[in-house]
């Protein structure tokens, strides 16, 4: 065969992985707007030139370079990076150098397709003459999204702590938005306030994050919360409370989910979405769980080398989980003295809930392990309805939908599946309106949390 026609996959190992980010521009896709911007700010504080790419503007490109069988978030992010590169090439002309950038695309190890996005996108980027020099920086859930190698070793732990903290602040600002907006004195006040607050917190995290001056950062957050509370009109009575679960990208990317939270609010809801920190805690929890199981097996087989390896993993994942849950509790306890925002359950608690109901096992993995017990906790917590938001054909969310449908009937709590691709379904509004009618009835009969 002619050499030019041989496809080799060397690029998947050479140009996808963990790369040092010094002297590079780190391009981060915008998933949930606030969390992504705050994370980029922390990176900048550590000297990394991090930028958030415009999202959804390149959707046509994303669709052109995918077959339609890929998950929707893969199409969107494919479009985001192609569009960004196209615009940079126009802006910089002859000075455009794809090697100056690292495109940040994390992954999760099976069993669903998130582990394949960066491989697929690598193949597409390699098909462009210059973009084969654009490296994909990939962090994996396999090692709990370790940041080792991207900056000097002595600062890796601090970067990880500050990055996690930025996700917590992002979760709080999101929850503040959903808590205030349904009760705002004038339409538009909350959106403008949250946008301003996001930039303020980004500036604060960039400045104080590297020194891990978390208390000072929380002081600023408290000022923001105090200001936000003044937007609430006390004359507006409480509204039905709706919980959202689902696939992390779709439920947090407002373009991709056609701004489902705002649509629900339009029909009279107050909404709480599952958090980003929950997924990070889950990857640490799952790593610890797998290490414990591996250690038990190695012990029975008396394989010392393996025992040592799993012990090391247990210490590493256990340490991360302990720190993250500790930090999360600290942040929420400061915030909860000022405003009633929903708090996360620990992942251990969610596993217990799943086992009590005997609906699925954590050995299966994926976000179904969080969504199913999350739905049960919403129902137990007095929510008036639950919405599952996910990409069309998403495997974990389809599992969730199949399992919880009958359960929600039994519990008598309204439940709605909202799968998305880039099309607009004609019956979408009607389905949401009907769901909100049921949620309202539930609210009238049972009240709310």
Residues that bind ligand SF4 (CB under 6 A): 71, 73, 112-114, 247, 367, 391, 394-396
How is residue 107 annotated by DSSP? B
- From 133, 117, 208, 130, select the one nearest 166 (Cα to Cα): 208
Instruction: Compute the least distance from the CB of residue 393 to ligand SF4, in Å.
Output: 7
Bridge-partner residues for 331, per DSSP? none
Nearer to ligand SF4 among residue 272 and residue 370 (C-beta)? 370
Q: For residues 321 and 395, which CB has a smaller minimum distance to ligand SF4 in the complex?
A: 395
Nearer to ligand SF4, 113 or 181 (CB): 113
Residue 274, SS3? Answer: coil
- Residues 221, 50: Cα–Cα separation, whole Å: 23
Q: Is the previous residue joined to 111 through a cis bond, with omega within 30 degrees of 0? A: yes
Dig out the tokens for 360 from the structure: 């699925």
Among residues 53 and 395, whose Cβ is nearest to ligand SF4?
A: 395
Strands of the 16-17 sheet, one edge to the other:
16-17, 135-137, 101-104, 25-28, 49-52
Instruction: Closer to ligand SF4 by CB, 114 or 282: give it.
Output: 114
Helix (H/G/I), strand (E/B), else coil: 199: helix
Q: With contact defined as beta carbons under 8 Å apart, do 373 and 353 qualify?
A: yes
The SS3 assignment for 66 reads: coil
Smallest distance from ligand SF4 to CB 387, Å: 16
Q: Write down the residue that tokens 């930028």 correspond to.
A: 51
Q: Nearest approach, Cβ of 8 to ligand SF4 (angstroms)?
A: 26
Work out the number of other CB atoms within 10 angstroms of the CB of residue 14: 10
Smallest gap from Cβ 391 to ligand SF4, in A, equals: 4
Q: To which H or E segment does residue 242 belong?
A: strand 241-246
Dihedral (C-alpha) 232, 238, 240, 245: value to the nearest 10 degrees?
40
Q: Which residue has the tokens 């069309």?
A: 392
Q: Pick between residue 61 and residue 112 the one whose CB is nearest to ligand SF4.
A: 112
Considering beta carbons, is residue 366 or 384 the nearer one to ligand SF4?
366
CB of residue 73 to ligand SF4, shortest distance in Å: 6
Q: Which is nearer to ligand SF4, 70 or 174 (CB)?
A: 70
141: which 2 tokens? 């859930």
CA pair distance 337, 89, nearest whole angstrom: 50
Minimum CB separation of residue 75 from ligand SF4 in Å reads 10
Nearest distance from C-beta of residue 72 to ligand SF4, angstroms: 7
């Amino acid at each position: 065969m002619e050499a030019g026609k041989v496809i080799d996959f060397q690029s998947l190992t050479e140009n996808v992985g963990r790369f040092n980010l010094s002297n590079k521009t780190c391009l981060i896709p915008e998933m949930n707007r606030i969390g992504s911007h705050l994370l980029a700010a922390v990176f900048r504080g550590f000297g990394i030139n991090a930028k958030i790419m415009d999202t959804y503007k390149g959707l046509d490109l994303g669709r052109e370079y995918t077959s339609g069988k890929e998950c929707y978030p893969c199409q969107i992010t494919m479009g985001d990076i192609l569009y960004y590169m196209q615009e940079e090439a126009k802006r910089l002309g002859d000075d455009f150098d794809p090697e100056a950038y690292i495109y940040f695309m994390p992954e999760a190890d099976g069993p669903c397709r998130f582990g394949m996005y960066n491989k697929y996108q690598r193949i597409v980027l390699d098909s462009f003459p210059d973009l084969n020099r654009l490296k994909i920086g990939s962090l994996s859930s396999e090692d709990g999204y370790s940041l080792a190698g991207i900056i000097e070793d002595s600062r890796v732990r601090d970067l990880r702590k500050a990055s996690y903290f930025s996700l917590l602040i992002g979760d709080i600002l999101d929850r503040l938005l959903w808590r205030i907006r349904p009760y705002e004195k004038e339409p538009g006040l909350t959106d403008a306030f949250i946008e301003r607050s996001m930039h303020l917190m980004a500036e604060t995290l960039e400045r104080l994050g590297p020194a891990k001056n978390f208390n000072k950062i929380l002081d600023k957050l408290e000022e923001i919360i105090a200001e936000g509370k003044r937007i609430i009109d006390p004359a507006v009575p409480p509204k039905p409370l709706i919980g959202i679960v689902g696939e992390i990208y779709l439920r947090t990317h407002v373009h991709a989910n056609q701004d489902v939270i705002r649509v629900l609010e339009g029909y009279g809801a107050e909404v709480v979405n599952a958090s980003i920190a929950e997924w990070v805690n889950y990857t640490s929890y799952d790593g610890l769980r797998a290490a414990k199981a591996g250690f038990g097996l190695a012990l029975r087989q008396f394989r010392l080398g393996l025992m040592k390896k799993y012990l090391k993993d247990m210490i590493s994942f256990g340490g991360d989980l302990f720190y993250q849950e500790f930090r999360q509790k600290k942040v929420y306890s400061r915030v909860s003295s000022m405003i009633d925002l929903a708090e996360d359950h620990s992942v251990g608690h969610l596993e217990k809930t799943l086992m009590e109901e005997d609906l699925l096992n954590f050995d299966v993995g994926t976000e179904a392990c969080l969504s199913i017990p999350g739905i049960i906790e919403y129902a137990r917590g007095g929510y008036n309805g639950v919405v599952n938001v996910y990409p069309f054909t998403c495997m974990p969310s389809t599992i969730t939908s199949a399992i919880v449908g009958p359960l929600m009937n039994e519990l008598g709590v309204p439940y709605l599946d909202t799968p998305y691709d880039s099309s607009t379904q004609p019956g979408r509004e009607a389905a949401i309106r009907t769901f909100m009618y049921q949620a309202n009835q539930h609210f009238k009969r049972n009240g709310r949390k």
